[in-house]
Structure 1
Amino acid sequence: MKTNSSPSVVYPSRFDLLSSLKEAKEKSLDFVVIIAGSLQGDWHEIFKESIRCLKEGGLMFVQGLPDNLPEMGVFLDQFLKFKYWIAVESIAQHPSHGLPSVHAGILLFVKGDKHFNIQRVRFPHEICEHCGKPLRDWGGKSHLRNPDGFAVSDVWKNLPPANNYNQISRPVLNTILKMVTPVLSSNGHDVKSATTATKVKGLIGPKEGIGDSKKVSDIAIQYKLPGFEPRVFRPEPSGKKIEALWDTVHQGDALEILRQYPDNSVDLVFADPPYNLEKAYNTYNDEQSAKEYLNWCNEWLAEYSRILKPTGSLFVLNLPRWTMYHAEFLNKHLYFQNWIVWDALSEPRGKLMPAHYSLLYYTKARENFTFNLKDVPLVDSRHYCLRASCIRERKSNGHDEKERLTDIWWDIHRLKHRRDRDYHPCQLPDRLLERIIKLSSNPGDIVLDALAGTGTTAVVAARLGRRYVAIDLDPEYVKITRQKIDEVTRLGFVVRQSTKKTKSPYTKKSLQLELRDLATKLGRLPTPEDVAKKSRYGLNPFVETFPTWGKALKAAKLEVKNGSSS
């Protein structure tokens, strides 16, 4: 039997928070939760004391608003290691401009290089109201579905809607506590380390920020950025001259080409920069130092700000850690509208699955910018699944509930199939760019992407009747982009090549089910030696199909776990 060991937590008030931290011994706390939405005054000293009190491997959570958290995150990134920006869907706010917002944020940092250790938390599986299947489509991998629920990601949409802007709701706080609470066996030992567990110690404050004591209208107490007038950037002269400004695809250095564009000349700029994760782009070096990477990003962000028209909009997509820095830079030059969360679950890994791709939305003017929410279709109700068969059936039966678009986008999937890709490691789906372009531009407007990759932005812009500018360093990507735009111009769509595979005598699923059956017979997880002796397929298919033995054993692990708990 497994139980949770309740942590020992101090809950200081707003007025006692700093003194409580100062009184705590150095490296004495396992976790700290700061409810920044309920702070008053300067937060820097509170953060410094929190860092001092944390043990090596200790966790720091900071709740707040997306327009304030980037500055806090950039500060913490100097002393702690960034792990996640958790987006929490909260009760809707309807500002006078920009998208309706439901996004409250929680930063998660770890101290030192010690192993990052949190408990896996699961939310219950949800069922589609029409077809009765789980909302999450496992794509033929239902045998891997855990009966206890799905492991939480860094986008939390399954908790009761609440005000998490200037406070933290009880369900959200309870989820955090589950993450930091060690799981103990019935004899009081830590299950993972098999050593006697010490009491987990933490601090959560200020206590006025816990629960449902505040209305959303009280949010103004949180630290706000001062007003400013956008800076005007002047381009540096370039030796080269470009022949065409609009409806063109440039091959070359983004900065050099951007500097030749006039001030206030583009309606919409978009960028999906390399993520600095050693991905295999054709030409870019995606393994720069953090400082070099951010300096490079700031250079083209400055050019983007300069060339935007007064009614123009900027969108930048990146991983949350880098997006914090983009936001800190852009907050000094443009007007923040939304930190949009694209909930696009990547390959499951770790105890908190990464799903949050950050899409910043800024404008040149505070208001009176191009904003066409009426032109963007409503999204299907979240109570329906996204299986094509279910969508066809329920819509033909008149079941077509819709929801308003907010700043958490969960209805657009990442590209997973080869037939939709153009040899780019992070190619974006057309639907994502279609939504952005419809939202922030009109027919005939100019849409620019200076890190164009294989041209999704330009291709969608051309299809929607916008003028386009695409820039990329890689001649092969430029060739692909020009070919696709030519097809859109002639045919109205991009021709996709067939990607039929040669038939294999086994599938990934059949191999995993084979391992599950072996686990049932053996009463334990099979080893490679077991498989070599007992599997009808032999060992080679498993080695060739799965990157690690652990990946192959996923279904078998569920079988062993369920057998031991029954």
Structure 2
Amino acid sequence: MPLWTAENPDTVIHADNLAVLPDLPDGAFTVVYLDPPFNTGRTQRRQTTTAVRVADAEASARSVTAITGFAGQSYERIKGDLLGYDDVFDDYWAFLEPRLAEAWRLLAPDGTLYLHLDYREAHYAKVLLDALFGRACFINELIWAYDYGGKSKRRWPTKHDTILMYVKDPARYFFDSEAVDREPYMAPGLVTPEKVARGKLPTDVWWHTIVSPTGREKTGYPTQKPAGLIRRMLQASSRPGDWVLDFFAGSGTTGAVAAQLGRRFLLIDENPEAIRVMRDRLGVEGVDFRDATSSRS
């Protein structure tokens, strides 16, 4: 019996994501949102991949693009150059790379990956994702800007994260900007009253506060991201009824927002505390909670 199919209810799986991702069906998800652990210098269990799997003749034809990187250099060449440049990144990428290869496989032909990183890793990941997905599959570098916390006096305070947006097929991906909640104009006096009332479409710089430490949205999970960020991604890149995958699910924000918007969700996390928070947040009625920790290799 498969671990999950598109006929399942909304699902949360307690497991090491790399142990269960290969059991999921190809092309099942319209959006994959990933907020992996930032590089903390921990040694990760090493995994290796040499190519992205392709399922049919059309995908095979596209695979030439999918593994061609900057200036025509091959994926293995780019990966080797970067791993030789930075030993700390070597460990982190060995952890993240096979999971991103699975994300590519699991995306639907019209699907989108949103990869949420901080400034220390985003530039490395961008180059390697160009090689893994193909440069033509890069759509946006989104900047989430916020203003909270300590302010350094020895450099410009770092108050942003980076979200890289890649698609499975640049000719087929789904994107509906009109479905996205609009935001106020920063200079309303420069536009008509009609435009002020309607608001403007967001750009690739998203000003959005962090989750308030005292607000109703706060779950207590340390890496929780604001629902407003995920809402914008799912509004633009999915339709009601589409499946959304988050396999670093944390506090379950992706699932909570997907449910509000009428999307379906599959969440995976190996942290027992994350599963507890998601049970409290998402409830158990209509959501299938599964323990697949015995599937770890």
Paired residues of 1:363 and 1:369 also in contact (CA < 8 A)? yes
Q: Deviations over 1:119-163 (max 9, x none)?
A: xxxxxxxxxxxxxxxxxxxxxxxxxxxxxxxxxxxxxxxxxxxxx
Residue 241 of structure 1: how far off its partner (Å): 5.6
Partner of 1:426: 223
Structure 2 alignment gaps of length 5 or more: 46-86, 288-297
When residues 446 and 243 of structure 1 are mapped into structure 2, their CA distance, relative to the original with a 3 A threshold, is closer
Aligned to 2:24: 261
Work out whether 1:343 is the aligned partner of 2:157: no
> Does the Cα contact within 8 Å between 1:266 and 1:307 map onto a contact in 2?
yes
TM-score normalised by L of structure 1: 0.38
The separation in 2 between residues aligned to 1:241 and 1:289, in whole angstroms, is 37
Alignment of 1:250 with 2:10, yes or no, is no
Return the TM-score normalized by structure 2: 0.71
Give the 3-state SS of the residue equivalent to 1:380 in structure 2.
coil
How far does residue 277 in structure 1 lie from its aligned partner after superposition? 3.8
Any residues of structure 2 matched to 1:399-418 within 5 Å, and which?
Answer: 400=197, 402-410=199-207, 412-418=208-214
- Higher helix proportion: 2
Which has the bigger relative contact order, CA under 8 A and spacing at least 6? 2
Moved over 6 A (4+): 487-490
Q: Deviations over 1:250-271 (max 9, x none)?
A: 0010111111111111111000
Other-structure match for 1:206: none
Q: Does 1:456 align with 2:259?
A: no
CA distance in 1, matches of 2:221, 2:41: 13
Q: Aligned to 2:119, which of 320, 340, 344? A: 320
CA contact (8 A) 2:246 2:267 kept: yes
Pairs within 5 Å for 1:53-202? none
Task: Report the RMSD for the aligned CA atoms in angstroms.
Answer: 2.8
Shift in Å at residue 345 of structure 1? Answer: 2.7
**Alpha-carbon distance in 2 for matches of 1:431, 1:243:** 28
Q: 2:39 — aligned with what?
A: 276
| Native 8 Å contact 1:452 1:472 kept in 2 | yes
Q: Percent identity?
A: 29
**Shift, 1:401, TM fit:** 6.5
Secondary structure of the 1:312 match is: strand
The letter of the residue matching 2:171 is E
The offset of 1:430, in angstroms, is 0.7
SS of 1:332 mapped into structure 2: helix
Contact preservation (8 Å) 2:225, 2:253: yes
Quick check: which has more Rg, 1 or 2? Answer: 1
| Contact 1:262/1:307 (<8 A) preserved | yes
Closer, same or farther in 2 for the Cα pair 1:275/1:488, shift >3 Å? farther
Q: How does 1:483-498 map to 2 (within 5 A)?
A: 483-486=280-283
Q: CA deviation at 1:336?
A: 0.3
Which segments of 5 or more consecutive residues in structure 1 lack a partner in the other structure?
1-239, 385-394, 491-566
8 A Cα contact 1:376 1:435, kept in partner = yes
Secondary structure of 1:418's partner? Answer: coil
Relative distance call for 1:421 and 1:243 in structure 2 (3 A) is same
| Equivalent-residue separation in structure 2 for 1:444 and 1:254 (angstroms) | 24
Shift of 1:368: 2.5
Q: Is the 8 A contact 1:463 1:488 kept in 2?
A: no
Q: Tell me which of 232, 252, 269 is aligned to 1:435.
A: 232
CA contact (8 A) 1:345 1:354 kept: no
Instruction: Tell me which residue corresponds to 1:180.
Output: none
Alignment equivalent of 1:298, drawn from 77, 97, 120: 97
* Matches for 1:535-546 after TM superposition, within 5 Å: none
Work out the CA distance in 2 between the residues paired with 1:346 and 1:295. Answer: 32
1:391-434 deviations in whole A, cap 9, x for unaligned? xxxx9xx9647223211111x21113234322222211111111
Residues 185 and 196 of structure 2 are in contact (CA less than 8 Å); yes or no, is this contact kept in structure 1? Answer: no
2:80 corresponds to which residue?
none
1:363-401: CA deviations, max 9, x gaps?
Answer: 0111221101010122111247xxxxxxxxxx9xx9647
Q: CA shift at 1:295, angstroms?
A: 1.3
SS of aligned partner of 1:333:
helix
